[in-house]
Amino acid sequence: MEIETPFVHLHVHTEYSILDGATRISALLKKALEYNMPAVAITDHGNMFGVIDFYEKAMSVGIKPIIGIEAYIAHDSRFSKKKWETLNDGAFHIVLLAKDVNGYQNLMKLSSLSYLEGFYYHPRIDKEILRKHSKGLIGMSACIKGEVAYYILKNDMKKAEESAMEYKEIFEEGDYYLELMDVGMKENKIVNEGLVKIARKLDIPIVATNDVHYLSKDDIFAHDALICIQTKRKLNDTTRWRFESNELYFKSPEEMKKLFKDYPEAIRNTYNIAQKCNLIIELDPKVVHLPHFDIPEDYENADDYLKQLTYAGLKERYGELNGKIKERADYELGIIRKMGFAGYFLIIRDIIQTAKEKSISVGPGRGSAVGSIVLYSLGITDVDPLEFNLIFERFLNPERITMPDVDIDFEDTRRDDMIKYLKEKYGENNIAQIITYGKMKTKMAIKDVGRVLDIPYNTVNEITKIYDKYNEGYTVAEAFDKIKQLRELKEKEEKIKKLVELATRLENITRQAGTHASGVVITPEDITHFTPLYWEQEKKSVVPTTQYSMKNIEKIGLLKVDFLGLRNLTVINRAVQMIEKNYNKKLDFSKLPKDDKATFKLIQKGDTYGVFQLENDGMRQYLK
């Protein structure tokens, strides 16, 4: 008896196809397990935002993760910023899947270049860079917005064949597939027939996909609302753009096999592709990719150099060194050596030293870092851990293998200057800021869905006010169940009931990408070997951002430093300059007493406007 070949979904958009995909990764994997799928792919639009989360979660439940993107490919050059024929956004679609590490690195490179060089409506690549970075990748012709499908629909089979042949030659032997879809659109039949003809003529394999944008069939209305949020239109607007299919859900293997019963090889090839994809992403907490830091020739290694700098700094701080100081320093240096982090300390010291040389105000230290006498000796912090009996293990614990984390405060007007310095020292291709994802939190979900349902603004505003008044961390569903006024409103008005249903489905979905307020990454080589890059088009950033979040940057072993721009430091620096100018007195903060009674009296009165972390109303009330 012949064993039936499993079906694998290879064209899937998660919530990281922002405001376009509504599939949550955990729910996706749960459904894949339910369907006994051995593998599943994610192919978000142009980006790899969800890759590490997806990879980790898939591996943890025993499903093979296939990493991909649905790329936008310019009809000519990625640098061309013009519309073309009926392609208003100037791009076709193509699906790319990574077979191995080579493919994964090429995928990261292509996605990065699409943002850094090819952005026009969407992040776009072109055939020039696809040829250059095609090794280890599988290509699929995508939906009806793919190039081959485009020419089939124009009834230009000659051009369709030429395009298919060109892609076949770009990818390695047998790694380009023509993608059959049947999602209930009138174009599907025309395109599928054309693709099969081309496949037979040019010996190109076919594969069945479903262009998944949401998990279940009953998610269609929530997905439609999501599209309205993206396009800023209302659900009752008959002129708005909408998906022409209600079938873009995560179909069962049985449904897919029934749809493609005439093309069983298209089903078999989903599994064959999955068998080709065997990417392993290294997520070992013991592996850290520190940038190279030059040490003087007199020193054998970074540990010896760090020890010399530490003892020189201790003598400056304390003068004569007693046994307690030496014991603490040697203890910390031993742990730093054991964990292999000497280079990190030297890098941070260089950053602080450079800032001070550039007359950029630097904070005295914050958080667990002030518990390190090594950091104090290096001038990285200005708080004596011995004087205040602070412990080192909160900062660096040999029992817990994590990167040390020093938050550095700079004047907010000079933060970019320090990022520029890192570009000069380590190379502009080795520096990036870190992405952050904004979620559609409860109130935002209520507001967004209320708007697309055309519920009056005053009504939605009143709902959020009631929510704020009685909120105890409620979700949308809990709020309309437990808060009496909201429950009564839902029971009375059908539109509010619809709001609750849709907002519940969309709550906490990814809504936008931005730049983290402080995180900066430094890598030993081109950063796109480790993480793909993203560029916030609306902002003129000094450097691009990573596509991976801060927690995932740490998981892949990259050095992350926190550069915080503080307005308070800018104000203090200007005040110091004014004092020097008007009174000819230069303040030295290291010599200011830490037990000044007049200062503490001001604090006791709550007279702390402009004082960092003590100026908000809650803290001022607490201090009185």
512-544 pLDDT, tens digit each: 999 999 999 999 999 999 999 999 877 678 899
Average pLDDT over residues 363-387: 95
Average pLDDT over residues 242-252: 96
Residue ending a domain, choose from 506, 524, 556:
506
Tens-digit pLDDT profile for residues 181-226 = 999 999 999 999 999 999 999 999 999 999 999 999 999 999 999 9
Residue 438 has a CB neighbour count (10 Å cut-off) of 12
pLDDT at residue number 86: 58
Is 73 a domain residue? yes
Axis crossing angle, helix 186-202 with helix 157-170, rounded to the nearest 10: 60
Residues 390, 500 within the same domain: no
Domain count, the chain: 4
Angle at CA 326, nearest 5°, toward 344 and 592? Answer: 80
Residues 468, 390 within the same domain: no
CATH number at residue 465: 1.10.10.1600
Please enumerate in sequence order all residues whose Cβ is within 8 A of that of 15, keeping only pairs 6 or more positions apart, or say none. 21, 22, 23, 24, 25, 50, 509, 510
Contact 560, 550 (CB under 8 A): yes
pLDDT at residue number 506: 98
Q: Please identify which residue in the block is written with the tokens 């292509």.
A: 110
Residues 90, 59 within the same domain: yes
Q: Please identify which residue in the block is written with the tokens 């699906």.
A: 95
User: What's the whole-model pTM score?
Assistant: 0.93
Residues 185, 256 within the same domain: yes
Residues 369, 502 within the same domain: no
Residues 454, 340 within the same domain: no
Average pLDDT over residues 546-554: 96
160 vs 270: CA distance, rounded Å: 23
Is 286 a domain residue? no
How would you write 298-328 as a 3-class SS string? CCCCHHHHHHHHHHHHHHHHHCCCCHHHHHH
Q: What percent of the chain has pLDDT over 70?
A: 98
Is 581 a domain residue? no
Residues 150, 50 within the same domain: yes
pLDDT at residue number 1: 42
16 vs 23: CA distance, rounded Å: 9
Contact 48, 534 (CB under 8 A): no
- Fill in the amino acid letter for 189: K
Residues 367, 393 within the same domain: yes
User: Which among 145, 77, 82, 88 is positioned nearest to 117, based on CA atoms?
Assistant: 77
Angle at CA 406, nearest 5°, toward 401 and 412? Answer: 150
Is 378 a domain residue? yes
Average pLDDT over residues 496-518: 96
Residues 457, 365 within the same domain: no
Domain that holds residue 166: 25-215+250-276
Q: Which two tokens stand for residue 259?
A: 């749809």
Tens-digit pLDDT profile for residues 406-461 = 999 999 999 999 999 999 999 999 999 999 999 999 999 999 999 999 999 999 99
Residues 457, 543 within the same domain: no
Residues 326, 197 within the same domain: no
Does residue 72 sit in helix, strand or coil?
strand
Tens-digit pLDDT profile for residues 291-329 = 999 999 999 999 999 999 999 999 999 999 999 999 999
Is 184 a domain residue? yes
Q: What is the mean pLDDT of the chain?
A: 94
Q: Which two tokens stand for residue 405?
A: 């984390």
Q: What percent of the chain has pLDDT over 90?
A: 85
Residues 271, 369 within the same domain: no
Is 127 a domain residue? yes
Q: Which two tokens stand for residue 438?
A: 């904004």
Contact 338, 551 (CB under 8 A): no
Q: Which of 145-149, 262-266, 337-341, 588-592 has the lowest mean pLDDT?
A: 588-592
